[in-house]
Structure 1
Amino acid sequence: MSSLARIRALAPPSAVTAGLIATTVGVTSAAAIVFTAARTAGADAREVSSWMLALGVGIAVTTVGLSLRNKAPVLTSWSTPGAALLATSLSGVSMEKAVGAFVFSAVLTVVSGLTGWFARLMDRIPVPLASALLAGVLLDFGTGLFAQMGGHFGIAFPVFALYLLARRLLPRYAVVVALAGGVVASVLTGGWHLERVQLSLAQPVFTTPELDWKVLISVGVPLFVVTMASQNLPGVAVLRTSGYEVPISPVLTWTGVAQAVLAPFGAFGLNLAALTAAICTGEEAHPDRKRRYLAAVWAGIFYLCVGLLGATVASLLGAMPHALVLAVAGVGMLATIESALTGALSDPKSREAAVVTFLATASGVTLLGIGSAFWGLLAGVLTTVVASMARRRTTPSMPAARPVTASSRTPERTSV
């Protein structure tokens, strides 16, 4: 095989393009949320770049390794809903305690992979409640998009309008188009601070984990539940819908191990990708389904580049107008919020519990130092239990079956 043929075999243009698109969509739709989460935890510029480095390295290692091992497009990503949860629940939490919650969430993921009780655990948490929890967590991001129109209409509205237009014409690039339009609009309004942009490689910053039971319950447990329910579950569905029967327990185990190792550097959540994974599993990635794993491999390589340039990415996000960051984060979450609300209200029997979960989570209430995500889930479970007891009490008991005797038996008919 010639060198050119070998290169084309390892880097088919369609697979490379699909990997680049998946990475671009993943970064542009969620990097702003990761940046916000890090800032909420009190991270400085060096720590923000370390977060990006750890996440980029973690995604690259797990994506490339698992895809080559299974010969399937196993694309991993950072937990976007998890980042949104952190952005609303890490206020006042030290970086050491936050990292402790990241490690705790990773340990739960490893245990779920080693024991195989992921499916059983998810069965105990009804999907409508998990969806309602996610919707409540993301509510602030959705409303933030429209709140910015009050004082920054010239930036927020073009982002929203271009997103709607691109969703109809170029749905795969909707967030990218919205971001590009927002950048142009913000440049015209003079909101950029380009003097803050620094072209440099990211440097790892180690933070010693500190275990605080309140933070573990209010941050670590909801981070694990949201990531498993809103990222890993649909990620598995994407793979299986595309015809890839990948053993899930080893995948969860390795993503959890990678997160645990990289958590002190800022890797708050690693999981199966869902929306961006679909880009690498479709026919556009490669006409041969058995070769589509190359698209995921190239996506992992591009994520590694993003991680290595984490300082540049972080400084670029810092130079962006805050209104643009919130607007892009808002449109990046619209599809996820829509899916979460649809799942929350899908079952009439769980609808009341889902609404309770959504409202309690969205309220932002903090009790005993524990955030609203935990209490929202607890309130939803309590509502489900009470409703189930009420239904059992009001269901009339079935009359005892009458013994079948020879005289009561209906004569059988012979079919012709």
Structure 2
Amino acid sequence: MIQPISAGIVSAITGFASSFVLVVAGLHAVGATDAQASSGLLAVCVISGLCCILLAWSFRMPISFAWSTPGAALLVAAAATTDDFRAAVGAFLVCGALIVVCGLWPALGRAITRIPKPLASAMLAGILFPICLAPIQASVEIPWLALPVVVTWLIFFRLAQRWAVPAAMVVAGIGIGVTAGSGWLTEASLAPSLSFVVPAFDPLVIVSLGLPLFIVTMAGQNVPGFAVMATFGYAVPPRPALLASGLGTVTASFFGGHAVNLAAITAAIMAGPDSHPDRDKRWVASVTAGILYVVFGLAAGVATALISAAPPILITAVAGLALLGALVAAVSNAIEDPAHRIPAIATFLVTASGVSIVSIGSAFWGLLVGGVIMLWSAFPWRRRKVIEGS
């Protein structure tokens, strides 16, 4: 059993280290205090871990869960949408409720998956693009901190790609520790702490944040999660998986967590043959990863304090390095079909612009503009032939 246990350890470390900075930065962007951001990170860690353990154990499959990385990127991009964290939590709650409905009403899940792939991918690419610019900006603004991070990422990307982002985060942490001194650690709460947040339901925030969060979580995480598992021969039961994702998101939202969903990239580590030659024993990897996620959640206070002590551009730069692969995949999917490239590019440009119209964020408008252009270009405008004579 050593092999699946080691696969679970590698998966959990990779998943946590590669994007926890993005989760905290995203929660800060929509108005969370340090205590609320720490609580949110703790909530999504623990609930993701428990979902991994319970479903993997119950179905004897390497079913794995994680927080929504595209969703966290959306929070960073939606910084101008709201600074009222209670309203953001209301949007998180709506997102979770919609995922629950997808589990109970399969027709809605099918409808979400039928959103044209070029538009959904272009919207995600537009969300990720400004974040992926951050390594360049940070290298100019704070080269003494950012350049060692970027160089470390480049070295590991060539030699051990899986560890490139965790290694970059370690170098960033060292740089922050040297420049900030020990003050950030004395302010950290070493004991795990959950902060209950009473949600507020602002219709504009729900439209500009809650609905896009639901779409990117379903299209960018849950649907690929099912696909990855199917690739390795596992037929994951959709209803329990979506109910776990939705109820997990609803529960986490009350403590500041944004979204819980099926894992995709790290799922491939645990569901693939490297986990164990016998596919019936790979579920142990997901249980192991789940246990580690719970343990990592207990250090959420320290992680949040470290991130809060850093220049924001440095944290966004590390997140940008982590999301480069996701950006490449999103752009490739968006422009794959030549017939839909113009609607996809329009969606990308509007989303990446960061515009907010009537207090509704750019992700919603990007999807709307792309949809209108796609319908306009596909409408049969051929004139009716006039038949002369009788």
What is the TM-score with the length of structure 2 in the denominator? 0.93
2:257 aligned counterpart, secondary structure: coil
Distance 1:18 1:83, change over 3 A: same
Q: Could you say which residue in structure 1 is the equivalent of 2:35?
A: 46
How many Å apart are 1:380 and its aligned residue?
0.6
- The reply to whether residue 386 of structure 1 matches residue 376 of structure 2 is yes
Q: How does 1:1-400 map to 2 (within 5 A)?
A: 12-91=1-80, 92-184=82-174, 190-197=178-185, 198=188, 200-389=190-379, 392-394=380-382
CA distance in 1, matches of 2:349, 2:257: 29
How many Å apart are 1:19 and its aligned residue?
1.6
Give deviations 1:356-376, integer Å, cap 9, x for gaps: 000000111111111111000
2:133 aligned counterpart, secondary structure: helix
The one-letter code sitting in structure 2 at the alignment partner of 1:313 is: A
1:366 aligned counterpart, secondary structure: coil
Distance 1:152 1:167, change over 3 A: same
How many Å apart are 1:113 and its aligned residue?
1.0
How many Å apart are 1:143 and its aligned residue?
0.5
How many Å apart are 1:289 and its aligned residue?
1.2
Distance 1:268 1:132, change over 3 A: same
Equivalent pair of 2:40/2:252 in contact (CA under 8 Å): no
1:393 aligned counterpart, secondary structure: coil
CA distance in 1, matches of 2:108, 2:53: 23
CA distance in 1, matches of 2:314, 2:87: 30
CA distance in 2, matches of 1:323, 1:220: 25
CA distance in 2, matches of 1:364, 1:52: 25
Distance 1:122 1:177, change over 3 A: same
Distance 1:128 1:293, change over 3 A: same
1:227 aligned counterpart, secondary structure: helix
Give deviations 1:315-345, integer Å, cap 9, x for gaps: 2222345443222111101000001100111
How many Å apart are 1:80 and its aligned residue?
0.7
The one-letter code sitting in structure 2 at the alignment partner of 1:111 is: V
The one-letter code sitting in structure 2 at the alignment partner of 1:309 is: A
CA distance in 1, matches of 2:323, 2:295: 24
CA distance in 2, matches of 1:224, 1:123: 12
Q: Which runs of 5+ in 1 are unaligned?
A: 1-11, 398-416
CA distance in 2, matches of 1:117, 1:267: 27
Give deviations 1:233-262, integer Å, cap 9, x for gaps: 211111010111111222011210121122
Distance 1:365 1:292, change over 3 A: same
Give deviations 1:127-176, integer Å, cap 9, x for gaps: 11000000101111101111111122233233223323322321221212
Q: CA RMSD in A?
A: 1.9
Identical amino acids, percent of aligned pairs: 37
CA distance in 2, matches of 1:386, 1:343: 21
Equivalent pair of 2:113/2:223 in contact (CA under 8 Å): no
2:364 aligned counterpart, secondary structure: helix
Larger Rg: 1
Equivalent pair of 1:194/1:319 in contact (CA under 8 Å): no
CA distance in 1, matches of 2:31, 2:339: 42
Equivalent pair of 2:176/2:309 in contact (CA under 8 Å): no
**Deviates most, 41-50 or 155-164:** 155-164
Distance 1:182 1:57, change over 3 A: closer
How many Å apart are 1:309 and its aligned residue?
2.1
CA distance in 2, matches of 1:324, 1:17: 31
Paired positions, count:
382
Distance 1:210 1:323, change over 3 A: closer
CA distance in 1, matches of 2:176, 2:26: 23
CA distance in 2, matches of 1:323, 1:364: 17
What is the TM-score with the length of structure 1 in the denominator? 0.87
Equivalent pair of 2:126/2:352 in contact (CA under 8 Å): yes
Give deviations 1:227-286, integer Å, cap 9, x for gaps: 111111211111010111111222011210121122110121011111111111122222
